[in-house]
């Protein structure tokens, strides 16, 4: 999870209708009402200037994280499986479903919650967000070059920081699937401590074109 700066809220969410109502507020209210009526209501994105709003937003989100999943940092430019993640789930927090700060570019893996997540549900507020001003990878995590896992930064004295890191690893299953192996393979392939940018000379690109950028820090 690499830090990024969130850009300004896009026009499609801020646009005011004839009655002076802002789109995102109007859509949040509408979705909240729909869910109240029917808890299994189907969520759908609205249109703005004849374009689905999710298509507009995903371009902005992609630019913001340089086409990396906001949570695991998988690199997937134009990847079809990437979609928009509602950080506060849209069914539990319908009044944030169209709120810019709640939306992130996300890979398929990071959208799947672990089976036992219900045991932690009250801890959602502890899950880290990569666009927060005080977030940095080093503060909360370290990359273990022996097994490819993301570990809690044990040198951080703050107990709450360590808990937040630990909850975030569980929430996005950062060491689940085959992720440690994939990261380790990337590390072996591209990392070179002797190079100024820690990327092997053979790689003809920039850090932003590699997955798991925290490997090189
Ligand atoms: Zn991901």
- Enter the pTM of the model: 0.93
Instruction: Tell me how far the alpha carbon of residue 192 lies from the centroid of ligand 1, in angstroms.
Output: 24
pLDDT of residue 76: 81
pLDDT of residue 117: 86
Compute, in angstroms, the gap from residue 68 CA to the centroid of ligand 1: 8
Per-residue pLDDT at 71? 97
Give the dihedral sign, CA 177/118/87/148: negative
DSSP structural state of residue 135: -
CA of 147 to the centre of ligand 1 (A): 19
What is the per-residue pLDDT across 184-207, written as a single tens digit (0 to 9) for each? Answer: 999 999 999 999 899 999 898 899
Q: Report, as ranges of residue numbers, the positions in the chain whose pLDDT lies below 50.
A: none
Interval between CA 123 and ligand 1 midpoint (Å): 20
For residue 26, the CA-to-ligand 1 centroid distance in Å is 30
Q: Count CA within 13 A, CB hemisphere, residue 92.
A: 9
The predicted structure's pLDDT at residue 113: 87
Instruction: Give Rg (Cα) of the chain.
Output: 19
Residue 204: predicted pLDDT: 87
Give the pLDDT confidence score for residue 121 in this predicted structure.
80
């Amino acid at each position: 999870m690499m830090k990024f700066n969130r850009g300004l809220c896009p026009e499609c969410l801020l646009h005011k209708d004839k009655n002076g109502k802002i789109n995102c507020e109007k859509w949040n209210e509408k979705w909240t009402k729909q869910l109240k009526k029917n808890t299994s209501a189907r969520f759908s994105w609205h249109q703005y200037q004849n374009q689905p709003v999710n298509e507009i937003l995903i371009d902005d989100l992609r630019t913001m994280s340089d086409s990396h999943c906001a949570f695991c940092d998988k690199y997937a430019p134009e990847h079809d499986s990437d979609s928009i993640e509602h950080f506060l789930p849209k069914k539990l927090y319908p009044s944030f479903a169209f709120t810019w700060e709640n939306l992130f570019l996300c890979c398929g893996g990071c959208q799947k919650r672990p089976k036992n997540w219900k045991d932690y549900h009250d801890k959602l507020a502890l899950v880290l967000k990569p666009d927060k001003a005080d977030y940095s990878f080093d503060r909360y995590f370290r990359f273990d070059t022996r097994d490819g896992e993301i570990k809690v930064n044990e040198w951080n004295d703050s107990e709450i920081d360590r808990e937040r890191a630990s909850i975030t690893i569980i929430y996005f299953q950062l060491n689940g699937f085959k992720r440690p192996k994939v990261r380790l393979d990337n590390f072996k392939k591209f990392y070179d401590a002797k190079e100024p940018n820690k990327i092997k000379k053979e790689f003809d690109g920039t850090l932003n074109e590699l997955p798991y950028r925290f490997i090189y820090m």
